[in-house]
Every structure is written in structure tokens, then in C-alpha cells.
Amino acid sequence: MKFIVSSSSLLKQLTSISGVLNTSSNLPILGYFLFDISDKKLVASGSDLESTMVTEIELDKADDEMKVCVPAKLLLDMLKTFPDQPLTFSIDAKNFNIEVASDNGKYKLAGLNGDEFPRLPELESASKMSMDSSVLFNAINKTVFATGNDELRPVMSGVYFSLEKDGVTFVATDAHKLVKYNRTDSKSSKATAFIMPKKPLNLLKGLLSSINTDVQVEYNETNASFVFENYRLVSRLIDGKYPNYDAVIPKENPNVMTIDRNSLLNSIRRVSIFSNKTTHQVRLSIKGSELQISAEDLDFSNEASERLTCQYKGDDITIGFNSRFLIEMLNNLESDEVKLELSAPNRAGILSPMEKEDQEQILMLVMPVMLSQ
């Protein structure tokens, strides 16, 4: 069978789903794209068994229907070298060999039977909801960086979706830091919760960053599906019970500092260069309207300190934090000013933006590092 497709259109769509491929897998077929050609459409899929990404491409011409697996890296490397032009794919129905003809050349690739490709899971008795793409993008963007990497605690390696009738909440934590992102402008018809793995969320984030549309979300106890424009992502959910995150958020925080976000971020970046390379500890000392940020590495006799002005209500306090966590959090907030709420040197600090949309709430929690005297 033959079909004709634009080289740049094919490259763009295949690149957008190629992040799901698992090149180090023991299953060679996971290094292939599935091409399903029918009705002058090419439905291309990539999978790592846990997640599958699907995109639909309009064809200039197709003379039959067929499924074939195409070696992904070889095809992408080839497509990257072409200027925009029509490519003619000819596929042998018996041995699945593929010949690609361009304006000035022919290229042969060894394909595989499309029936051998992992099947896309069907979501039986699934619940559905619609979510604005910008809401979902912001939710992923604000939380996914706080997920953990501990293989012994898989539930912490994903983002917890809590879908309620009065709003949606997204939570991520690695036990050292926690982010809770809430929206009241997206609602679910029934209350439910599931844990989405990190990898498909990062793939979704990449696609959602440049579009403005509604995302149709379907989910059951084992899988979740996200459909928008000409894309579909289906992912297996993480099985397990998410920790009681509300229990670790301190409710009474009488010490409140308000400060310019960029000034704080840049100051921590500079001072942390001089911190201990194991703990990355920086010390925050707040007295009146002055914040002193300091760090030291006793092994190499390195130290640094800076003073910033801030607005502060509460008792004088000195507290230590891992500078990398603070930098990540401040980078993921967008407001000009941030608020840091504290209760005691051994209790978690809560970081939140001073300016935000009416429908959203963002809370970032960071655990302290015990200060060496």
C-alpha cells in the first residue's frame, strides 16, 4: 500500500509523541511507532507500556488501510534532514518493509507487523470531565517538580489528582517539600482521586504549553486518558494510597514574612554557592524588617551572607532550609512578591504567592534543615 504525507507535518507530530518512547527497554518494539492508516488519516502511536501517546495526521493520499510498525529513531533522524516536501511511503503487506521516496532519493526501512504493537487500553466504566488546557498546564507545571524519585514509595513519584464537585486539587510531595494547587473553576461530576505518574505528566505539559483548548479527561481505577486537538495520551495510574498531606501542613503560623520574589531567589542562588555540598543548607535570620541569608561550608572555609529588606510580623526567628528546594519553589511561582509563613525552627515553612488568580490557591511547603550551632 502507498500513502503520501508532508515531511514537516509528519516530523512535527512524531516529535511531539516521541518522548514516550523507551529506548532502553528489553522489548524492541517499544522503539517503534505504530502507523495505523485508514480513511486518508495516519494515526501514529508510541508507547512504553505504561503510557501511550497517539496523534492523528491528515494524509495527502492513501490507497488502502494498513497497520505497520516503523523504527522511530531511524525515521525521525531521516525526517529532520528534509526540507518540507511530500514523501511517498510504500509498504509491503507481506514482510512490512517500508520504502520512502522523496524528491531526490529512496530510503528503505525494515518495519514490523502492526498487530504486534501493544494495544491501547480501553477505559471501561470511565468517569469523564472537561478541563481548560491552561488550568491543567498550570496544575502540572506547579506540582510535578515536587514529586519524589524513591522507588520504595511509588505513590510519591506521581501527582495526586483530587477531583471534587466544588473544585480540583493537585498535590505532589517527596517528603521534603510539598505543593498543593487548587482550582475552583474546574469541577468533577463525582468525587474521586487518582495518582498520575511523572513521565506522562511532563509529556502533557510539553504539549499543553502551546495550545488553548478544552481537554477531555477520562479515568477509571487503573488508567487515565487525556484527549485534546489531535492528541490522546493514555497512562496507567500509580496504585496505592496517597499520604495524608493535610496532616503535615502546619495550621498555626504566626510569623509571616513578605518579600520581593526575585530579590529572594537571586540572593539564595548567590549565597548557596558557598553552602555545604551535601546539605545545601542556607540560614534565614529574620529580625524586624531585615532578612539575613547566610551559608557556610566549614570543610573548605567558605561562607557568604546577604541582607534584604522585608515586611515581617512575628518573633525573631532563625531557620535552615535546603537551598535547592527554595530555589525550585521560587522559580515555580510567578508573583512579584511571596509570603513565607513560619511557626518554629523545627517546623515546616509555607511559601505562597501574594498575587494570584481568584480561582486558584497555591501552597508550597518546605521542611527545615536542622541548623548546626
**How many domains is the chain built from?**
3
Task: Say if residues 354 and 336 touch (Cβ distance below 8 Å).
Answer: yes
Model pLDDT, residue 372: 63
For residue 212, being part of any structural domain is answered with yes
For residue 163, being part of any structural domain is answered with yes
Task: Say if residues 289 and 143 touch (Cβ distance below 8 Å).
Answer: no
> Whole-model pTM?
0.91
Q: Confidence class of residue 100 from pLDDT cuts 50, 70 and 90?
A: very high
Please state which of the ranges 112-121, 211-220, 364-373 shows the lowest mean pLDDT.
364-373
Query: 254 by DSSP, 3-state: which?
Result: coil
Model pLDDT, residue 150: 87
Among 77, 97, 116, the domain-final residue is: 116
CATH number at residue 49: 3.10.150.10
Residue 50 pLDDT > 90: yes
Give 28: exposed, middle or buried? Use CB within 10 Å, 0-12, 13-18, 19+: exposed
Same domain, residue pair 172 and 103: no
Same domain, residue pair 184 and 239: yes
Same domain, residue pair 187 and 228: yes
For residue 182, being part of any structural domain is answered with yes
Residue 373 pLDDT > 70: no
What value does the mean pLDDT take over residues 250-278?
96
Q: Domain range spanning residue 51?
A: 2-116
Residue 88 pLDDT > 70: yes
Give the separation between CA 8 and CA 11, rounded to whole angstroms: 5
Residue 152 pLDDT > 90: no
For residue 265, being part of any structural domain is answered with yes
Percent of the chain with pLDDT over 90: 85
Same domain, residue pair 139 and 105: no
Same domain, residue pair 12 and 34: yes
Residue 60 pLDDT > 90: no
Query: 275 by DSSP, 3-state: which?
Result: coil
Same domain, residue pair 256 and 241: no
For residue 121, being part of any structural domain is answered with no
Same domain, residue pair 219 and 280: no
Q: How many helices (H) and strands (E) does the chain have?
A: 6, 27
